[in-house]
Structure 1
Amino acid sequence: MKSLKLVHKIGLIVFTIGFITYLSLFFLGQYRLDKSDLKQSVGDQSFSVVDKYAQNIYGIQYDDQFSFVSDFKSILSQANEEIKSKFEISTYVARKIANSTEGNSFQQSAIEKGIGSPEGEVGKWQIKQLTDYTGWMEGREYESSEELAAQLEKVISDVNNSIISQKGFSQDNINNKAFTIAKKSEVGPVAQNPWLWLLLAIGIPIIGAIMYLLPRLKTQHAGIKNDGIFHSALKNRGWIGILLGTFLISFYVFLYWFPEYMTSWIVMVDPLSKMLSGNPASQWFMYGFLYTLAILVMGIRMIIKYRHSPYQMVRTVSVMFFQLAFAFVIPEILVRLNQPYMDLKNMWPLDYSFFFDYRLNEMVEAGTIGLFMLGWGIALFTLGVPIFTYLYGKRWYCSWVCGCGGLAETLGDPYRQLSDKSLGAWKIERWLIHGVLVFAVVMTAAVLYTYFTGSSQLLGMNTYSIRAVYGFGIGSIFSGVIGTGFYPFMGNRVWCRFGCPLAAYLGLVQRFKSRFRITTNGGQCISCGNCSTYCEMGIDVRWYAQRGQNIIRSSCVGCGVCSSVCPRGVLNLENRDEDGRFNQPSLIGNDSFGVQS
Structure 2
Amino acid sequence: MQDKSLSIAEPVESPISQKIGASMIAAAILCALIAASGPGAAYPILFFWGIIVLVFAGTISYSIPYFKAIPGVKNNGVMQNPATNRGAIAWGVAMLMTGFYIILYWFPSYLEGLIRMMDPLSIILRNTKADHWFLYGAFYTIAVLVMGIKFIAKYKYSRYQVIRTISVMFFQLGFAFLIPAFLMKLNQPEFYFSYFWPLKYSYIFPNDVNNLIQSGNIGVFMVFWGLVMTFIATPILTYNYGKRWYCSWVCGCGALAETLGDPYRQLSDKSLKSWKIERWMVHSVLVFVTITTALLWLNSWKNGTILGDASGLFAQWYGFLIGSVFSGVIGTGFYPIMGSRVWCRFGCPMAAVLGLFQRFKSKFRITTNGAQCISCGNCSTYCEMGIDVRAYAQKGENIIRSSCVGCGICATVCPRGVLKLENLAEEGRFEPYKRDEL
Instruction: State TM-score, norm by structure 2.
Output: 0.93
Match of 1:395 among 227, 244, 248: 244
* 1:433 CA displacement: 0.4
**Aligned residue runs from structure 1 range 268-287, under 5 A:** 268-287=117-136
1:498 aligns to what?
346
1:209 to 55, 59, 71: 59
The answer (yes or no) to whether the contact 1:399–1:405 under 8 Å persists in 2 is yes
Deviations 1:538-561 (A, max 9, x none): 000000000000000000000000
Counterpart amino acid of 2:51? A
1:577 corresponds to which of 421, 425, 429:
425
- Choose from 358, 361, 364 the match for 1:510: 358
| Separation of aligned partners in 2, 1:451 and 1:490 | 40
Q: Secondary structure at the match of 1:214?
A: helix
In 1: Cα distance, 2:305 partner to 2:55 partner: 49
Q: Quick check: 349-358 or 259-268, which moved more? A: 349-358
Which of the numbers 20, 35, 45 marks the counterpart of 2:30? 20
Tell me, yes or no, if the aligned pair for 1:339 and 1:366 is still in contact at 8 Å: yes
The alpha-carbon distance between structure 1 residues 456 and 16, as it changes in their structure 2 partners (threshold 3 A), is: farther
Which protein has greater RCO, CA pairs closer than 8 Å, 6+ apart? 2
Given the superposition, is the C-alpha separation of residues 509 and 190 from structure 1 closer, same or farther in structure 2, using an over 3 Å criterion?
same
Q: 2:261 aligns with which of 409, 412, 415?
A: 412
The 1:443/1:192 distance shift into structure 2, 3 A limit, reads same
Structure 1 match to 2:21: 11
- Cα displacement (A) at 1:227: 2.7
Q: 2:109 aligns with which of 237, 256, 260?
A: 260
- Paired AA for residue 369 in structure 1: I
Match of 2:365, SS state, is strand
- Distance, in Å, in 2 between the alignment partners of 1:3 and 1:352 is 42
Show CA shifts across 1:244-301 (max 9, x none). 0001111111111111111011000011111001011011000000000000000001
Structure 1 distance, partners of 2:400, 2:32, is 44
3-state SS, counterpart of residue 414 of structure 1: helix
Counterpart check, 1:521 vs 2:391: no
The aligned length equals: 425
Pair 1:233-2:243 in alignment: no
State the SS of the aligned residue for 1:324.
helix
Aligned to 1:555, what secondary structure does the other structure show? coil
C-alpha distance 9-397 of structure 1, shift in aligned 2 (>3 A): same
Contact 1:355 1:447 in 2 (8 A): no
SS in 1 for 2:162: helix
- 1:248 is aligned to 2:97: yes
* Selected match of 2:40 from 190, 193, 200: 190
Q: Which residue of 2 aligns with 1:488?
A: 336
| Partner SS state of residue 79, structure 2 | helix
One-letter identity of the residue aligned with 2:36: F
Q: Distance in 2 between matches of 1:358 and 1:192?
A: 39
Structure-2 separation of matches of 1:274 and 1:476: 27
Deviates more, 1:510-519 or 1:461-470: 461-470
The answer as to whether partners of 2:367 and 2:432 remain within 8 angstroms in 1 is no
Structure 2 counterpart of 1:290, one-letter code: F
Alignment of 1:158-177 (within 5 A): none
* Alpha-carbon offset, residue 583 of structure 1: 4.1
Distance 1:333 1:378 in 2: 22
User: Would you say the 8 A contact 2:55–2:146 is kept in 1?
Assistant: no
- Structure 2 Cα separation of the partners of residues 265 and 357 of structure 1: 35
CA distance in structure 1 between the partners assigned to 2:58 and 2:48 by the alignment: 15
Q: Deviations over 1:536-594 (max 9, x none)?
A: 000000000000000000000000000000000000000010122124499xxxxxxxx
Larger radius of gyration: 1
| 1:377 corresponds to | 226
Deviations 1:311-359, CA, capped at 9 Å, x for gaps? 0000000000000000000011011111111111101000011123442
TM-align CA RMSD: 2.0
- Residue 261 of structure 1 aligns to a residue whose secondary structure is helix
Deviation at 1:362, TM superposition (A): 2.3
The alignment's TM-score, normalised by the length of structure 1, stands at 0.69
Report deviation, 1:457: 4.5
For structure 1, list consecutive stretches of 5 or more residues without a partner in the other structure.
30-188, 587-597
Which 4+ runs in 1 deviate beyond 6 A?
A: 1-4
Q: Which residue of 2 aligns with 1:199?
A: 49
Kept after mapping to 2: 8 A contact 1:225/1:565:
no
Which letter maps to 2:249? Answer: W
- 8 A Cα contact 1:222 1:304, kept in partner: no
SS of 1:574's partner is strand
After superposition, give the CA deviation of every residue in 1:486-505 in whole Å (9 maximum; x if it has no partner).
Answer: 10010000000010000000
Contact 1:497 1:555 in 2 (8 A): yes
Q: Which moved more, 1:385-394 or 1:7-16?
A: 7-16
Q: Paired residue for 2:209?
A: 360
Contact 1:294 1:411 in 2 (8 A): yes
Secondary structure at the residue paired with 1:572? strand
State the distance in 2 between where 1:273 and 1:454 align. 39
Residue type at the aligned position of 2:320: F
Distance 2:411 2:206 in 1: 45
Q: 1:224 aligns with which of 39, 51, 73?
A: 73
Q: State the AA in 2 paired with 1:551.
A: I
SS in 2 for 1:347: coil
The residue that corresponds to 2:395 in the other structure is 547
Deviation of the 1:24 alpha carbon: 2.1
CA separation in 2, counterparts of 1:3 and 1:496? 30
State the distance in 1 between where 2:134 and 2:382 align: 33
1:23-42 alignment, distance < 5 Å: 23-27=33-37, 29=38
Question: Does the Cα contact within 8 Å between 2:368 and 2:432 map onto a contact in 1?
Answer: no
1:3-28 CA distance string (max 9 Å, x none): 9764443232222222211122233x
Give per-residue Cα distances to partners, 1:143-180, cap 9 Å, x unaligned. xxxxxxxxxxxxxxxxxxxxxxxxxxxxxxxxxxxxxx
Q: Is the 8 A contact 1:319 1:400 kept in 2?
A: yes
Query: Which residue, 413, 417, 422 being the options, matches 1:565?
Result: 413
Matched, 1:533 2:397: no
Letter in 1 for 2:209: L
